[in-house]
Chain A
Amino acid sequence: MSTVSLERNLVISTEKLQETANEIRKLALRAITKANSGHPGGSLSLTDILTVLYFNLLKHDPKNPNWEERDRVIISKGHASPGIYAALSLAGYFEPEEFVNTFRQVRSKFQGHIDRLKVPGVEVSTGSLGHGLSIANGVALGLRLESKKNKVYALLSDGELQEGQIWEAVMASAHYKLGNLTAIVDRNRIQLDGWTEETMALNPLADKFKAFGWEVKEIDGHNFSEIIDSIQSGSQRDLTDKPLLILANTIKGKGVSFMEDKVAWHGVAPKPEELEAALAELTTN
């Protein structure tokens, strides 16, 4: 089996993770600029979490994407596709340049929102917000029926927590005691129209999930050791423990100073000169 063992992965240093995260951000921004379309803000806020999963903790095999024993990452925020494709390509699922050159083009595998039928490593096609947690619940139930120990990770945006379906799913994860499920919310506090708390207030999020029967850990979503520790604590639960929510406080547009915390960078492509400035920042970081 060509799969990298968990133990070997753990020796990756914080410096190496940071370097990988920067490479992911650069690829994502290059692809968005080339397509002149895409979502930079939410890709960059999710990048450090993706980095820890795909380059450190996840049980997966890029050469065998359908490996039965893999952990499952259900990404509900399908619009973060540039960051996701970048992470998957660097992990070895496909060639990075193939993604950068064809992202959002007609007949490309690399659709605007992730598509499982087109891109290896994508577990489920999403894009329409609010579906992912329900799907992750189904995957967790299905794996548990087979007594499989594989972990299920649901990556959610914060804005999509405004969808009613999410709370139906939040109820169900707790009702069915899905101890094999960890949901990570990319809490970047910004949605398309503005700050989440001004558009449709979500707080207090931790209290809401606790009240629905979840275990909650709140972390800095850009601090690698906090991301690793919280995900690892999730991995040590029994199959019928409470589901775990990692509320990851993040910064939209993280890593590029002029994009950070800016509503405008939710779904707008950088101009070529802005890309140059961003790449320069990500190289010196």
Chain B
Amino acid sequence: MSEKKATRVAYGEALVELGSKNSDIVVLDADLSGSTNTKKFAQKFPERFFNMGIAEQNMVSTAAGLALTGKIPFASSFAMFATGRAWEQVRNSVAHNDLNVKIAATHAGITLGEDGASHQIIEDIAIMNVIPKMSVLVPADAVEAKAMTKALVEYQGPAYIRLGRPNVPIIFDENDFEYELGKARLVKEGQDITIIAYGVMLSKAIEAAEKLETEGVKAEVINVSTIKPLDESTILQSAKKTGSIVVAEEHNRVGGVNCLIASCISNNLNSFCPMEVVAIEDRFGQSGKVDDLLEEYGLTSENIVEKAKKCIKRKVS
């Protein structure tokens, strides 16, 4: 995991690659194409790129119109604006119409960094998840971001893909990686505890599992990169085996994936399965360097280790 790359960069590169094979792909942006990385597509395919200016609501509904003509629109902006500002357009123009629009939004979460709370959306997963027909995807690294972008071209229907600003460790081997929408991936096997993570927290979860290993604890790590539809069977299978779960996410705890997993466990398991959560504790973000922010909000491998140990104790008591 020494090499690093931002998921937004991988997305931008994937768009160019896919755009040269499929002329139905069109891309919209709202004056952030340099930051979202759609600029590469814009330069290569200017006639299929639409800069909509700083007007995200119009961008999303325009993407819906393009989808009505058979195009495959990717609409990009910062996640704050694509999912927050334009939520009602995503809900009514796109999802209620069951249109093939991909909301591909970058700079999600507190790892946006220095711009601070006004731009750091920690609610996007919650507000996209609650929309019927919507799929929600979060890649953990650049390899997965590329594979997901490709999968979204093939998938018919509304979808949200959450991308990040910072360079993050490359976890997966590009030559040996396939992404299947709706499938969680078992990243590391273990039997003492299950750590479920996605996005930037997956590399932290892997680090935590390695630390736990040195202390004789065998942790299983699952990447729930498709948040909706959630791969309940993979989660349940692991929960039955380990009997305890830590969920790690760069999102508000309220409305986060931890809630979905808790519901999945309590609805399906008869045995007690304690759960601990590493997430943002219902507070806004702030300006800062990425690593400092992760530390400040407790989104660290150390915290995952601590929660894992606590959870294992709860299991045996």
- On A, residues with C-beta under 8 Å from B are 72, 74, 116-117, 123-128, 131, 134-143, 145-146, 164-165, 168-169, 171-172, 175-176
Q: Is B47 an interface position by the 8 A CB rule?
A: yes
**When each residue 58-69 of chain B gets 1 if its CB lies under 8 Å from chain A and 0 otherwise, what string results?**
101111111111
Residue from A135, A136, A169 having most chain B Cβ neighbours under 10 A:
A135
Contact with A along B82-101 (1 / 0, CB 8 A): 00000011001100111000
Q: Which one, A145, A165, A175, contacts B48 given CB within 8 A?
A: A145
Contact partner of A123 among B68, B73, B98, CB < 8 A?
Answer: B68
Residues of the B chain whose Cβ atoms lie less than 8 Å from the Cβ of A124: 64-65, 68, 97
Q: Is the CB of B69 within 8 A of A146?
A: yes
Give, as a whole number of angstroms, the nearest-CB distance from B94 to chain A: 10
Q: Please state if A141 and B89 are interface contacts (CB–CB under 8 Å).
A: no
From residue A130, how far is it (CB to closest CB) to chain B in Å?
8
Task: Tell me the complex Cα distance, A127–B92, Å.
Answer: 9
- Residues of the A chain whose Cβ atoms lie less than 8 Å from the Cβ of B68: 72, 123-124, 135, 138-139, 142
Q: Is the CB of B70 within 8 A of A135?
A: no
- Complex: A83 Cα to B287 Cα, angstroms: 53
Distance of B27 from chain A, by nearest CB (Å): 12
Give chain B residues whose Cβ lies under 8 Å from the Cβ of A72. Answer: 68
Mark contacts of B185-221 with chain A using CB atoms, 8 A cut-off: 1 yes-contact digit, 0 otherwise. 0000000000000000000000000000000000000
**A125 & B97 in contact (Cβ 8 Å cutoff):** yes
Q: List 14 A-B pairs, Cβ < 8 Å.
A: A72-B68, A117-B98, A123-B68, A125-B92, A131-B64, A134-B58, A134-B93, A137-B65, A138-B68, A141-B62, A145-B47, A145-B71, A169-B58, A172-B62
Contact A142 B98 (CB under 8 A): no
Stretch in B49-57, B147-155, B160-168 touching the partner: B49-57
Among B47, B50, B57, the residue within 8 A (CB) of A165 is B57
Cα separation A153 to B211 with both chains bound (whole Å): 62
A-B contact count (CB 8 A): 97
Residue B26 lies at the interface, judged by CB distance under 8 Å to chain A: yes
Rounded to whole Å, the gap between the CB of B79 and the closest CB of chain A is 19
Chain B residues with Cβ below 8 Å from A169 are 58, 61-62
In chain B between 269 and 286, which residues have their CB closer than 8 angstroms to a CB of chain A? none
Question: In whole angstroms, how far apart are the Cα atoms of A172 and B57 in the complex?
Answer: 12
Residues B58 and A168 in contact, CB atoms below 8 Å apart: yes
Chain B contributes a number of interface residues (CB within 8 A of A) equal to: 29
Partner of B55, one of A116, A128, A138, A171: A171
Residues in A neighbouring B63, C-beta threshold 8 A: 138
Q: Given contacts A142-B66, A142-B69, is CB(A135)–CB(B52) below 8 Å?
A: no
Distance of A273 from chain B, by nearest CB (Å): 37
What is the predominant secondary structure among interface residues of chain A facing chain B?
A: helix
Q: How far is the CA of A263 from the CA of B89 in the complex (A)?
A: 29
Interfacial chain B residues near A145, Cβ < 8 Å: 26, 47-48, 69, 71
Known: A145-B71, A171-B53. A134 touches B65 (CB 8 A): yes
A residues less than 8 Å from B60 (CB atoms):
134
Partner of B57, one of A123, A134, A138, A175: A134
Bound state CA distance, A116 and B55, in angstroms? 26
Q: How far apart sit A69 and B67, CA to CA, in the bound complex (Å)?
A: 16
Which of chain B's residues have a CB closer than 8 A to the CB of A175?
Answer: 53
The CA of A254 and the CA of B87, in the complex, are separated in Å by 36
- A135 CB contact (under 8 Å) in B47, B62, B88: B62
| Chain B residue at minimal CB-CB distance from A74 | B65
Looking at the assembled complex, report how far the CB atom of A166 sits from the nearest CB atom of chain B, in whole angstroms: 9
Whether A141 contacts B50 by the Cβ 8 Å rule is: yes
Whether A139 touches B66, Cβ cut-off 8 Å, given contacts A125-B96, A127-B92, A171-B55, is yes
Knowing A136-B65, A143-B69, A172-B58 touch, does A131 contact B47 (C-beta < 8 A)?
no
B97 CB contact (under 8 Å) in A117, A137, A171: A117
**Contact status B97-A116, CB under 8 Å:** yes
Question: Could you tell me the distance between the alpha carbons of A34 and B283 in the complex, rounded to whole angstroms?
Answer: 51
Other 20 A-B pairs with CB < 8 A, given A134-B61, A135-B65, A135-B93: A117-B97, A131-B64, A131-B89, A134-B64, A135-B61, A135-B64, A137-B65, A138-B63, A138-B68, A138-B69, A142-B26, A142-B66, A142-B70, A146-B69, A165-B55, A168-B53, A168-B57, A168-B58, A169-B58, A169-B61
